[in-house]
Chains A and B, each alone.
Chain A
Amino acid sequence: MTTTDSAIIHSTFTIERTYPQPPERVFAAFAQPAHKRRWYAEGDHEIQEFEMEFRVGGAERFRYRFKEGHPIAGSEIANASIYHDIATDKHIVMDSKMSLNGKPIVVMLLTLEFRPSGAGADLILTHQGAYIDWPQGPQMLDHGWKALIDRLEKYLASQA
């Protein structure tokens, strides 16, 4: 971590899942807009827009609004993505910018890999994110808040 005036935090994670369906079926759930809308876009929110053009250079736009009863009801999340590389039934590389009420909060690079696993498929998702505009975030990380959390845990354990 370098000390800068920007307030960006980087975080990477990987999720691996095995599905009983073969890679081409799992891939199709990402490639076909009607399929992806069902498992990806639908949820406990009001969809304002879900459009995707599944080709290299193609865009995906997904906007939704939180419903009444939600702590920030009326707030809008907008995801703007571009497909950068597609290898049918093998992988998808895309980037995505997530905004909250028009203000970007996370920019992410998303890699999806599909591999045969017996009769089914392994899906490997790698998410690399730059979390934007958290005041003093890098300075805080510089100081090593993770070490602080470790010490806190020890402290709490000693209290128990």
Chain B
Amino acid sequence: MSDSSRDRLNNCDRLFHALGDPTRRAILDRLVTGPASVSRLAEPLGITITAVAQHLQILEEAGLARTEKLGRVRTCRIEPTGFHALEQWIRDHRIDWERKLDRLGEFLAEDDASG
């Protein structure tokens, strides 16, 4: 497996943890419709702003969301990095095999030349 694929394997641990919680998925569901402030995220979920902030921290660490403070308001938006890593991870084994089968082709061609 390649260097980048091992990196992705480690990142995916965080990703799956982040996505495993229903509240965090509800936050992402809301964020895909557009950026929102922390308080506006908290309202429909019926949880405290502190709780939302904790969930957001986990989402940020997984590369799924991003927050920035503008004046007194903390705004949250979706971050594509984490989603791409997730898709990549599922495709990982396929890429590994694609490379191996390339090498098989090279090996057979060398074998032709030497034999």
Contact = CB atoms under 8 A, between A and B. Distances in A.
B29 interface: yes
Interface residues of B, number: 42
B93 to A, nearest CB: 6
Nearest to A143: B25
Given A11-B90, A71-B7, A143-B25, A38 B107 contact: yes
Given A13-B94, A66-B6, A127-B97, A136 B20 contact: yes
A151 B13 CA distance: 23
The interface centre, meaning the residue of B7, B33, B105 with most chain A CB atoms within 10 A of its CB, is B105
Q: 5 closest Cβ contacts across the A-B interface?
A: A136-B20, A39-B107, A39-B103, A140-B19, A134-B16
B29 A21 contact: no
Given A9-B90, A127-B94, A145-B86, 19 more contacts: A15-B94, A19-B105, A21-B112, A29-B104, A38-B107, A44-B2, A127-B97, A134-B16, A136-B16, A136-B21, A137-B20, A140-B25, A148-B28, A148-B32, A148-B83, A152-B32, A152-B78, A152-B83, A155-B33
B101 interface: yes
Mostly, the A contact residues are mixed
Interface of A: 7, 9, 11, 13, 15, 17, 19-21, 25-26, 29, 35, 38-40, 44, 66, 70-72, 75, 77, 100, 105-106, 108, 123, 125, 127, 129, 134-137, 139-140, 143, 145, 148-149, 151-152, 155-156
